[in-house]
Amino acid sequence: MLAALWFVSASLAAQPVPRDATSALSLSCSLANARQGVERGVATWYGPGLHERTTASGEKFNMHDFTAAHKTLPFGSLVMVRNLRNGRKVVVRINDRGPFSPNRVIDLSQAAASSLGMKARGRDTVVLCPAYPSAQGND
């Protein structure tokens, strides 16, 4: 059920996520959207050791792209990740499976982790929301 709520249309999901996707899309991720599928937990990141290896979706992992691994969300789903420690947010595209460590909800690419200000820490508590254009144009 949750995965169905996160599904993004094939035309949108097929597009690469621009580096400035958070500002390019008008996103909506608030407590009011909790009924539409919000997930909270620990995010970690991965990069150099897996760069250019094949992901579960069949594409090559690029640590410089805004991508992520999630246990159940459909490949191609766009997800806004908000760092609860500093308020930063980024949009990632799901292209891999994981994380396989307990109590973690998402593994982010190095680029996404850097944008969220969590690269040095290695992990942070985040909220995941479906990324889609908002009619209101506010966060």
Residues 82-96 have pLDDT tens digits of 999 999 999 999 999
CB distance 129 to 21 below 8 Å: no
Residues facing residue 82 across a β-bridge: 89, 127
DSSP string, 65-109: SSEEE-SSSPTT-EEEEEETTT--EEEEEEEE----STTEEEEEE
- The residue behind tokens 């982790």 is 113
Reported pTM: 0.74
User: Does the CA dihedral 121-52-96-75 come out positive or negative?
Assistant: positive
Query: Is 90 exceeded by the pLDDT of residue 134?
Result: no
How do residues 53-89 score in pLDDT, each as one tens digit? Answer: 999 999 999 999 999 999 999 999 999 999 999 999 9
Of residues 96 and 12, more confidence is placed in 96
